[in-house]
Amino acid sequence: MHIIAIANQKGGCGKTTTAINLAAELGRQRQRVLLIDMDPQAHASLGLGIKAHCQQGLYEVFNHELSLAQTILPQVIEGVDLVAATVTLAAVEPLLGDQPGRERQLLEHLEPLKDHYDQILIDCPPSLGLLSINALRCATRILTPLDAGFFSLEGVHQLRALVGLLEEKYALHLPMEILLTQFDGHTRLAQTLLEQVRQQFPQLLHRVRIRPTVRAREAVYFGKPLCQYAPQSTAASDYRRLAATMLADAQHRPSVAPRAPTRSALENDSEDNSMSLSREKALRQMVVLTFNDIECSRLQLAGDFNDWVPDQNVETRKLNGRWQKVFTAEPGVYEYRLLVDGKWQADPTNPYEIPNDLGGINSLLQVPAQL
């Protein structure tokens, strides 16, 4: 079971949008998901069409009047249960302020639920108060959205420092990842941000980026996740890929064995699969894809790993009538397509697919983190 705290004290950077849509995509991918709305603004609850302001919730849980299980709204969308934010949530921080072990209250209340869920997502408020600290304290992974439109890395430095303190104090390892949201790679601002994040947090940048779309705001208004409201939108497909990537990563973490819908980069029988690494690109894996039954005179490969430029940074081999494509990529989940004699198509030898923004189908490739 994984507990993902979605945290950044900067307001409006995409925490709630990420919480809702990642939860929805994980639910669709047959994960048992609990989403906890830890923000008194209740945007995650409202974004799923739930107006629970007057009901009982986390305040009563932290006050020992209710168990956490008693506050859960089951199946608000496919595969996703919700602990909604209530009007009393704003009073939780003063309440916790007086309690011993105030930083680990949520952790203790989650304990009985651990076997019921594969993924628990916590939408944090835009502050580093006790609500956020409780979420960080029980997290196995921290996702920090960063709005590429109005960026400031100061908040991320503060959050990183707080996470460092919690790691030290409780002897924890809290992997943190920065997720760029509303990221339009065509703008200079976005490219500058990308560069700064790479420089200042070289290990933390998540390779999936969420593109801007007006559909994201509309979906909240209509109380639906993007996969229901606008499944063809750019951000919907980005969140789909984020979920797939997180599941694939989870395979390399100890506690869970999720079902990642991807073709493995390791499935081929070539000795090249021994995955050599260059020193300066130590994280990159060599990937060899073999295509047995594709008859054509030219086969090209394009995907996230080469910016969708056919055969860019890809070596082509032809062995006994079989095509092979060889390239390097960082661990993660990638979408790709083939260009077969000039015609785009999904990989017919790969059953793992995902709809793309153009109404077609992309194939999915998993490059594992460790070999």
Assigned token pair, 49: 């069409």
Q: Are 366 and 267 in contact (CB under 8 A)?
A: no
Please state the closest distance from residue 19 (CB atom) to ligand ATP, in A.
7
Residue whose C-alpha is closest to residue 284's, from 271, 272, 275, 292: 275
Burial 38-53 (b: 16+ CB within 10 A, else e): bbbbbbbbbbbebebb
Cβ nearer to ligand ATP, comparing 235 with 314: 235
Residue 296 φ/ψ, nearest 5 degrees: -170, 170
Query: Which residue type occupies 360?
Result: G
For residues 353 and 320, what is the distance between their CA atoms, to the nearest angstrom?
27
Residue whose C-alpha is closest to residue 209's, from 300, 124, 111, 143: 143
Q: Interacting stretch for Mg ion, rule CB under 5 A, among 38-46, 90-98, 136-144, 298-306?
A: 38-46
| Interstrand relation of 80-83 and 72-77 (parallel, antiparallel or unpaired) | antiparallel
Of 15, 109, 137, 211, the one binding Mg ion by CB under 5 A:
15
Please state the closest distance from residue 122 (CB atom) to Mg ion, in A.
11
Choose the one of ligand ATP, Mg ion, none that binds residue 213, judging by a C-beta under 5 to 8 angstroms depending on kind: ligand ATP
Cβ nearer to Mg ion, comparing 239 with 291: 239
Please state the closest distance from residue 33 (CB atom) to ligand ATP, in A.
18
Does 16 engage in binding with Mg ion (CB under 5 A)? yes
Does 10 engage in binding with Mg ion (CB under 5 A)? no
Residue 140 φ/ψ, nearest 5 degrees: -100, -5
- Which residues of the chain form contacts with ligand ATP (CB under 6 A)? 11-17, 39, 41, 43, 126, 181-182, 210, 212-213, 216-217, 220, 235
Cβ nearer to ligand ATP, comparing 180 with 250: 180
Cβ nearer to ligand ATP, comparing 7 with 244: 7
Assigned token pair, 224: 């639906």
Q: Interacting stretch for Mg ion, rule CB under 5 A, among 35-43, 109-117, 257-265, 288-296?
A: 35-43
Please state the closest distance from residue 220 (CB atom) to ligand ATP, in A.
5
Applying CB under 5 A, the residues found at the interface with Mg ion are 15-16, 43
